[in-house]
C-alpha cells in the first residue's frame, strides 16, 4: 500500500468517524461539547487498529507499527479523558484512563521483544 493510499484511507476513516459521532450526538443524549473529544478518541482507536494492519505494508522509512500504536494510545487517552471531563466526572477518572492506557502500552512494549533463548 503506497503512502498516498494510506493517507487517503486515514482521511476516509476520520470522515466516517466524524459522521458517526455527529449522528450519535443527535440520537443519543451526548452534548455537542463531546464531539471533538470523541472524534479524537475513536481516531486513536483507528490508529491502534491501523498499527496491526500496517505491519504488512511497512516500507524502509515509514513509521514503525509500534510507534503508530503508541500514538493511537495517546490519542485515545486524550480523547476519552477529555470526554469524561466534559461529562462532569472527576479529573481522577481522566488520570485513571491515562494511567491505564500507559500500562497497556508498557505491556505491549514488554511483550514486543521476548527475552533471548539460552542455548
Taking each helix axis from N to C end, the angle separating 35-53 and 3-27, rounded to the nearest 10 degrees, works out to 140
Into how many domains does the chain fold? 1
Cell of 14: 476520520
Share of the chain above pLDDT 90, in %: 11
pLDDT at 56 over 70: no
Cell of 112: 514486543
Could you tell me if residue 74 is inside a domain?
A: yes
φ/ψ region of 114 (left if φ > 0, alpha if ψ in -120 to 50, else beta) reads: beta
Output the pLDDT for position 97: 78
Average pLDDT in the 10-32 region?
Answer: 85
Place of cell 472527576: 90
Q: Which residues contact 95 (CB under 8 A, 6 or more apart)?
A: 81
Q: Which residues contact 29 (CB under 8 A, 6 or more apart)?
A: none
Could you tell me if residue 37 is inside a domain?
A: yes
Q: List alpha helices for the chain, DSSP H.
A: 3-27, 35-53, 65-86, 91-112
Output the pLDDT for position 54: 65
Domain range for 45: 3-112
Q: Which residues contact 30 (CB under 8 A, 6 or more apart)?
A: 24, 38
Could you tell me if residue 117 is inside a domain?
A: no
Output the pLDDT for position 82: 86
- In whole angstroms, how far apart are CA 107 and each of 77, 94, 103, 113? 16, 20, 6, 11
Average pLDDT in the 46-71 region?
Answer: 77
User: Looking at per-residue confidence, does 72 or 90 come out higher?
Assistant: 72
pTM: 0.76
Could you tell me if residue 20 is inside a domain?
A: yes
Average pLDDT in the 57-80 region?
Answer: 80
Amino acid at each position: 500500500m503506497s503512502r498516498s493510499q494510506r493517507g487517503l484511507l486515514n482521511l476516509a476513516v476520520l470522515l466516517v468517524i466524524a459522521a458517526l459521532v455527529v449522528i450519535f450526538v443527535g440520537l443519543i443524549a451526548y452534548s455537542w461539547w463531546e464531539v471533538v473529544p470523541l472524534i479524537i478518541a475513536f481516531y486513536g482507536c483507528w490508529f491502534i487498529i491501523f498499527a496491526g494492519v500496517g505491519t504488512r505494508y511497512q516500507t524502509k522509512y515509514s513509521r514503525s507499527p509500534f510507534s503508530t500504536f503508541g500514538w493511537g494510545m495517546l490519542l485515545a487517552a486524550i480523547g476519552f479523558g477529555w470526554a469524561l471531563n466534559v461529562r462532569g466526572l472527576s479529573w481522577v477518572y481522566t488520570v485513571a484512563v491515562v494511567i491505564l492506557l500507559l500500562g497497556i502500552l508498557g505491556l505491549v512494549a514488554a511483550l514486543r521483544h521476548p527475552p533471548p533463548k539460552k542455548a
